[in-house]
């Protein structure tokens, strides 16, 4: 029997170095939450037992990555580490021009300052918030074109990250020459980490090419997306994951990448292209803001660790485990009666807090109520993605993002148990009211106070 046919998810690694996790009493967590103004971003990490705030830059490096780190070449120009990274990126993606940068938003910033003119339009399945901010900073308009099922938490469609092709046709016709770029975010983070099908990437690429518009990927989770194509899209079972990844990149003119996700490094990013004209512009902007073209704001050792991480992210055993552990988490919550977004995405579990705590109106932040309750109950830190993060949001979610290779199945079992206890008393959860609201990106530093369930206005 192959190992994956067993019910137990076996982590495809053994542990060489361990890091203790903090355990606090409920009273200590209550005090920490009050000190933090009931905002989990304000907690100190040593007040958190299971930290599911993000999967970005929080992964564990492998022994090979640590070894590569020691071997890093810190020469200012033309280092050996750079040569290793360039070769790996070219081999995985086929992009001739590779530029390192310190993280994903640095790549987006360079894109925004070079090839996205003021007054133009960028079309994307769903822009991640930093991508949107960099496009808007350039004086351009960022337009999201997700498929309608992306907004339905219960719809089991396998590729809810796709772009709506009719909406794309309509946007291309409407905006014409003003469209500076078409992008696809793989996987679609803002829409629940849902994957984009190869069929959709092909269709979007063909339309962009026909219109003569550059087509770029946001490839932060390229390996997870390639894996979902492998297991969910007809005709790709026999195609290897690296081949699928290569086909995805072959359809694009370039990509931005936050390497803190599928690069499995704690810091790093990439901006790559096959267009020489773009490369020349990117290069100058990179030197201005990030560093010389062979290090781009990173240490040589970071480049070496990334070269190894990108290859490890395409490993079949790793990806099978990654998918299985997110699915296990999603199904475990579902089985204890917690409403979750389905099907499972690639990097996180999303609890439908609106359905879990229907007595809390959106303006009293049901997502924050559930997130805070998970922390208070068992020290599990997630993040609200609802009307606190996006005022006027239609879905009230809590995202529990799973760092790569960090937690084991028993940590997940514990988090499910914590959520089950919260669900048992969901009707008693308080809502929250803002006591301090910063002018933008308020969820990061807002402070709140609880409003007891019995004092909440009844939903009409």
Q: Is residue 39 a contact point for ligand PLP (CB under 6 A)?
A: no
Nearer to ligand PLP, 184 or 314 (CB): 184
71, 73, 129, 315: which one is catalytic?
Answer: 129
Closest approach of ligand PLP to the CB of residue 159, in Å: 16
261, 278, 342, 411: which one is catalytic?
Answer: 261
Residue 76 falls in the annotated catalytic set: yes
Residue 443 falls in the annotated catalytic set: yes
Which residues, numbered 118-137, are part of the site for ligand PLP (CB under 6 A)?
Answer: 128, 130-131
Any idea what DSSP says for residue 48?
-
Give the range of 66-74, 100-108, 196-204, 272-280 binding ligand PLP by CB under 6 A: 100-108
User: Could you tell me the sign of the dihedral formed by the alpha carbons of 146, 150, 152, 156, in that order?
Assistant: positive
CA dihedral 94, 96, 100, 101 (to 10 degrees): -90
Which of 39, 141, 189, 197 contacts ligand PLP by CB under 6 A?
Answer: 189
Residue 162 falls in the annotated catalytic set: no
CA atoms within 13 A of residue 273's CA, in its CB half-sphere: 19
Which of 79, 81, 84, 103 contacts ligand PLP by CB under 6 A?
Answer: 103
Residue 152 falls in the annotated catalytic set: no
SS3 content of the chain, % helix, strand, coil (to 5): 45, 15, 40
Which of 100, 192, 269, 300 contacts ligand PLP by CB under 6 A?
Answer: 269
Nearer to ligand PLP, 72 or 104 (CB): 104
Closest approach of ligand PLP to the CB of residue 390, in Å: 15
Give the range of 97-105, 291-299, 362-370, 432-440 binding ligand PLP by CB under 6 A: 97-105
218, 262, 302, 352: which one is catalytic?
Answer: 218
Q: Give the total of residues touching ligand PLP (CB under 6 A).
A: 14
Which of 104, 153, 263, 300 contacts ligand PLP by CB under 6 A?
Answer: 104
- In what side-by-side order are the strands of the sheet with 383-385? 348-352, 397-401, 383-385
Q: How far from 283 is each of 100, 293, 425, CA to CA, in Å?
A: 10, 7, 55
Residue 222 falls in the annotated catalytic set: no
Nearer to ligand PLP, 180 or 191 (CB): 191
Distance between alpha carbon 350 and the CA centroid of its chain, in Å? 12
Give the H or E element holding residue 226. helix 222-232
Nearer to ligand PLP, 185 or 379 (CB): 185
The Cα–Cα gap between 228 and 224 comes to 6
Closest approach of ligand PLP to the CB of residue 131, in Å: 6
Q: Please identify which residue in the block is written with the tokens 């903090």.
A: 22
Find the residue with minimal CB distance to ligand PLP: 104
Residue 129 falls in the annotated catalytic set: yes
Is the peptide bond preceding residue 70 cis, with omega within 30 degrees of 0?
no
- What is the number of other CB atoms lying within 10 angstroms of the CB of residue 245? 26
Could you tell me if 107 and 134 are in contact, meaning their C-beta atoms sit under 8 angstroms apart?
no
Give the H or E element holding residue 175. helix 165-175
Residue 261 falls in the annotated catalytic set: yes
Closest approach of ligand PLP to the CB of residue 196, in Å: 11
Which residues, numbered 194-253, are part of the site for ligand PLP (CB under 6 A)?
Answer: 218, 220
55, 68, 102, 128: which one is catalytic?
Answer: 128
350, 443, 446, 453: which one is catalytic?
Answer: 443
Question: Coil, strand or helix: which one is 270?
Answer: strand
Q: 247-271 burial, b for 16+ CB within 10 Å, e for fewer?
A: bbbebbbbbbbbbbbbbbbbbbbbb
32, 107, 150, 220: which one is catalytic?
Answer: 220
Q: Please identify which residue in the block is written with the tokens 């997700």.
A: 146
Which chain residues interact with ligand PLP by CB under 6 A?
A: 56, 103-105, 128, 130-131, 185, 189, 218, 220, 258, 260, 269
Instruction: Report, as residue numbers or ranges, the catalytic residues.
Output: 76, 128-129, 218, 220, 261, 443
């Amino acid at each position: 029997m192959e190992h994956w046919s067993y019910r137990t998810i076996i982590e495809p690694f053994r542990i060489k170095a361990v890091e203790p996790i903090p355990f606090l009493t409920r009273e200590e967590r209550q005090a920490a939450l009050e000190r933090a103004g009931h905002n989990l971003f304000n907690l100190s990490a040593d007040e958190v037992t299971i930290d599911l705030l993000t999967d970005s830059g929080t992964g564990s490096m492998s022994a090979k990555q640590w070894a590569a780190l020691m071997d890093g070449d810190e020469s200012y120009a033309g280092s050996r580490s750079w040569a290793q990274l360039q070769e790996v990126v070219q081999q995985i993606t086929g992009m001739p021009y590779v530029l390192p940068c310190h993280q994903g938003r640095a790549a987006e910033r360079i894109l925004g300052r070079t090839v996205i003119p003021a007054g133009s339009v960028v079309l994307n399945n769903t822009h991640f918030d930093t991508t949107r901010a960099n496009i808007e900073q350039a004086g351009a308009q960022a337009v999201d074109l997700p498929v309608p099922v992306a907004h339905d938490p219960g719809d089991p469609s396998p590729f809810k990250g796709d772009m709506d092709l009719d909406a794309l046709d309509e946007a291309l016709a409407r905006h014409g020459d003003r469209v500076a770029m078409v992008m696809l975010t793989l996987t679609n983070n803002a829409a629940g980490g849902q994957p984009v099908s190869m069929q959709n990437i092909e269709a979007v690429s063909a339309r962009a090419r026909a219109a003569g518009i550059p087509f770029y990927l946001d490839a932060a989770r390229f390996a997870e997306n390639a894996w979902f194509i492998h297991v969910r899209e007809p005709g790709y079972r026999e195609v290897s994951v690296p081949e699928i990844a290569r086909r995805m990149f072959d359809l694009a003119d370039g990509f931005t990448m936050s390497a803190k996700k599928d690069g499995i490094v704690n810091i790093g990013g990439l901006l790559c292209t096959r267009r020489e004209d773009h490369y020349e512009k990117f290069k100058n902007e990179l030197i201005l803001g990030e560093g010389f073209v062979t290090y781009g704001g990173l240490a040589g050792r970071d480049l070496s660790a990334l070269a190894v991480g990108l290859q490890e992210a395409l490993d079949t055993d790793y990806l099978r485990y990654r998918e299985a552990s997110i699915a296990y988490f999603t199904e475990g919550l579902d089985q204890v009666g917690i409403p979750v977004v389905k099907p499972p995405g690639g990097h996180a579990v999303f609890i439908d807090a609106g359905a879990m705590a229907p007595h809390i109106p959106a303006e009293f932040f049901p997502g924050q109520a559930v997130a805070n309750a998970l922390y208070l109950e068992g020290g599990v830190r997630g993040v609200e993605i609802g009307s606190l993060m996006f005022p006027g949001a239609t879905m009230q979610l809590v995202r529990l993002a799973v760092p790569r290779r960090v937690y084991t199945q028993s940590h997940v079992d514990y988090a499910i148990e914590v959520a089950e206890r919260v669900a048992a008393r969901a009707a008693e959860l308080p809502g929250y009211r803002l006591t301090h609201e910063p002018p933008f990106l308020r969820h990061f530093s807002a402070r709140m106070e609880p409003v007891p369930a019995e004092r909440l206005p009844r939903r009409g």
